[in-house]
């Protein structure tokens, strides 16, 4: 069955790759640098999804530090780079991207991770040959939950919003898709925090990425 969209835009962390443990390690290395308490992966996962600066801000404030985040970020980004390629692809992700590519579907990645970390990770996990466009958290003036990055990727691909699907795992992805006016699918295995996936209006909630290949667009027009 042909995929019903011409462009699929994927979130990265929690959707294509499991990076929680690696991100947690970079956060904890930074906290140790500042002689602050460290946290387990489950706690740090709750802070993932809004970009590196928000992530480390949440960690430092939780640790009771009022350090200037501008002073913290350079060291954090060093540690982030040290662990950035350790993330692993979720089951069936590479195969799904391969199938979409073979069908002529364009694929893009929209993440709040800084852009310089995205391409090397996609390359390391065998996904880069299938990706036509990338927007990171520092690519444009706005990031998710704004719909600007999604509309930008659709425009760059020459694909209408109606023919574009967003695939993600978090509230930022939901809000961005709504703002862009496009259909979206959510994965059940990501970093959803307290988000009720089934109450978001998602076209589907899938348990494995290959399930994406069987989805069908909504019969009704988006509002």
Secondary structure of residue 68 in the 3-state scheme: coil
Q: Are 189 and 149 in contact (CB under 8 A)?
A: no
Q: Which of 11, 13, 22, 169 is catalytic?
A: 11
Residue 145 preceded by cis peptide, ω within 30: yes
- Smallest CA-to-CA distance from 178 within 169, 166, 186 is with 166
Q: Are 15 and 187 in contact (CB under 8 A)?
A: yes
Laid out side by side, the sheet with 133-135 consists of 133-135, 106-110, 7-10, 164-168, 183-187, 204-206
Known catalytic residue at 66: no
Please give the positions annotated as active site.
11
């Amino acid at each position: 069955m042909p995929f019903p969209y011409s462009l699929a835009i994927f979130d990265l962390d929690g959707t294509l790759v499991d990076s929680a443990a690696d991100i947690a390690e970079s956060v904890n290395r930074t906290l140790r640098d500042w002689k602050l308490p460290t946290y387990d992966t489950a706690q740090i996962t709750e802070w993932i999804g809004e970009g590196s600066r928000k992530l480390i801000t949440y960690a430092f404030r939780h640790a009771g530090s009022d350090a200037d985040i501008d002073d913290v970020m350079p060291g954090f980004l060093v540690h982030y780079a040290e662990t950035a390629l350790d993330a692993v692809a979720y089951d069936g992700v590479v195969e799904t991207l391969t199938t979409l590519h073979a069908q002529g579907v364009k694929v893009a990645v929209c993440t709040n991770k800084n852009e310089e970390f995205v391409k090397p990770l996609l390359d390391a996990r065998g996904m880069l040959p299938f990706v036509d466009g990338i927007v990171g958290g520092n690519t444009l003036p706005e990031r998710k939950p704004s719909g600007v990055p999604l509309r930008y990727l659709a425009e760059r691909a020459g694909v209408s919003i109606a023919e574009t699907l967003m695939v993600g795992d978090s509230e930022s992805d939901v809000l961005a898709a709504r703002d862009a006016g496009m259909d979206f699918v959510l994965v059940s295995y990501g970093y959803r925090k307290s988000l009720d996936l089934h109450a978001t209006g998602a076209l589907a909630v899938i348990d494995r990425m290959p399930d994406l290949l069987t989805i069908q667009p909504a019969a009704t027009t988006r509002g």
